[in-house]
Structure 1
């Protein structure tokens, strides 16, 4: 599979990340087959969070892949922390304890990447810096990033954190395009012109932070998928038309649309269906034309000024 460098690091990662939020929906043989298929497809970047399944998803993954030192060398592991029941917590104590729990559940000595999950308004960036330094010195985390953060939140962290922020995980799909649409509608009197994220797309490109789109098939906030959905007839008609041209599935085109953006994004797919996993991976070999990208964008109801 095609790879990119994650942020400013030297870490080469596949352009499609395998999200493990739903791996607890599989029984053990199914989980083993799913993980094995991902590796066969070259999708060896596995994405976790300590809250997924209350931590059980990390345990199930470790069992499914039969984690061992030799297996660990073949995979890239990312996890997130910072969400607790009813609150967000970026305190030094919580970050350090959370990472220890993640490592124990994944049965590994280190994470390739740790992300801070949801912005904590009570964050004391000095504490985050201390936690990152301690984790790096101990060899427990090699690279650091954030999730769902805007430019100023990242800048606040960077005032104290010395490690590069290599990734920012953000919601983005063909039907959730606010970070793209506001760039088309600068200084215009319409809803699409509202800057809801501080121009995070351009900020990440300027600072070489890899955007990891989450829920790449969802519309709204977990309202459902847009593929084969009667709510989006024009979008599905266009996607199916492009899919037929490239002789791939509509799933492949939905991911290829994200990969076509020059920001060099790394979509995080959440499917536990093996065939859909394979279809997602095929997107690495598809490069949509500029015309196709814009046609799909407009077919989702996005209006160019």
Structure 2
């Protein structure tokens, strides 16, 4: 007989499988076109991700001004069998600054439709597996946005939908207008950016108001089968490379000690800390360094091997003060 505990462990292991984040591919963030060296660098990073068992690749239409998607499309064109082996996820909803015009958010239906068509062209594919709405747009009519998503699905251009950087109420409002289930919410979550986990323990304390994370979002996603993804999962190297504060140095030392004890890399332990959460958080590995990508192998291959006390020790060391 399968117990609830073992079933939950199996579910968490599958939903917390890391993705590769492609924001670092495609050269510069400027107007310069990508070249052969950028294609080669992208190929090395994607090959490293595939080598460690990653099959889901995360994009956004704004990454490198579209060059991340375009250079990935070059790789798909070179390997006819690659597309069938992977899942492609991309995002729309942010318009970058252009000259005197500041960056804005835009989830109007017509904009969503146009941006998806442009992403498909750059990626050289006929379907996006998962489309995320990148940021909430206060001016967007949710009925109009939902209609655009339904149209994209009906035309076979997008298989599934999700959101990014949204709270429970925003997700529920969109879902109420959409027959298709929202399947992903991607948020910044790491041992450095801890507001998501702190929100649940700072209730009824003076620090709660300053936390900022929409309380109840993790619970809403878990209850509605919405997969949580963590961008910035490696904390920009704060605990596995550069350390800027005594707190970060103490956390890096503990991370290294745990890694040595478990005979894995510090990057693996850092990702395990996210994956160990019962919500089944899937880290997005965003580095473009093939060596660092491969250092995450055990986080892809094995369930997190952190016990209750080890998980808390990392959290408390990173936060630098006792729990309330």
Q: TM-score normalized by structure 2? A: 0.85
RMSD: 2.2
The answer to whether residue 61 in structure 2 is matched with residue 50 in structure 1 is yes
1:21-78 alpha-carbon deviations (Å, 9 max, x no partner): 0112462223222212222221010100000011111111121343565321111000
Q: Which residue of 1 aligns with 2:93?
A: 82
Counterpart pick for 1:291 among 306, 309, 314: 309
- C-alpha deviation, 1:161, in angstroms: 1.3
CA contact (8 A) 1:182 1:192 kept: no
The answer to whether residue 249 in structure 2 is matched with residue 233 in structure 1 is yes
Counterpart pick for 2:235 among 183, 207, 218: 218
The answer to whether residue 194 in structure 2 is matched with residue 181 in structure 1 is no
Structure 1 gaps of 5+ residues are: 7-11
Q: Which residue of 2 aligns with 1:135?
A: 152
Q: TM-score normalized by structure 1? A: 0.90
- C-alpha deviation, 1:217, in angstroms: 2.5
Q: Which residue of 1 aligns with 2:33?
A: none
Return the alpha-carbon distance in structure 1 between the equivalents of residues 39 and 206 of structure 2: 53
1:90-146 alpha-carbon deviations (Å, 9 max, x no partner): 111001000000000000000000000011001211111111111111110000000
The SS at the match of 2:256 is helix
- C-alpha deviation, 1:251, in angstroms: 1.1
Number of residue pairs matched by the alignment: 294
Tell which deviates more after alignment, 254-263 or 277-286.
277-286
Tell which deviates more after alignment, 254-263 or 19-28.
19-28
Q: Which residue of 2 aligns with 1:147?
A: 164
Return the alpha-carbon distance in structure 2 between the equivalents of residues 190 and 76 of structure 1: 40
Return the alpha-carbon distance in structure 2 between the equivalents of residues 71 and 159 of structure 1: 36
Structure 2 gaps of 5+ residues are: 1-8, 28-36, 97-102
CA contact (8 A) 1:14 1:42 kept: no
Q: Which residue of 1 aligns with 2:131?
A: 114
- C-alpha deviation, 1:227, in angstroms: 2.8
Q: Which residue of 2 aligns with 1:243?
A: 259
CA contact (8 A) 2:239 2:255 kept: no
CA contact (8 A) 1:4 1:264 kept: no
The SS at the match of 1:303 is coil
Q: Which residue of 1 aligns with 2:20?
A: 18
- C-alpha deviation, 1:279, in angstroms: 1.5
Tell which deviates more after alignment, 232-241 or 185-194.
185-194
Return the alpha-carbon distance in structure 2 between the equivalents of residues 61 and 202 of structure 1: 34
Return the alpha-carbon distance in structure 1 between the equivalents of residues 78 and 131 of structure 2: 19
Return the alpha-carbon distance in structure 1 between the equivalents of residues 78 and 90 of structure 2: 16
Counterpart pick for 1:101 among 118, 126, 147: 118
CA gap of 1:230–1:87, structure 2 versus 1, over 3 A, is: closer
Q: Which residue of 2 aligns with 1:9?
A: none
The SS at the match of 2:26 is helix
Counterpart pick for 1:202 among 205, 219, 222: 219
Return the alpha-carbon distance in structure 1 between the equivalents of residues 88 and 78 of structure 2: 12
CA gap of 1:57–1:193, structure 2 versus 1, over 3 A, is: closer
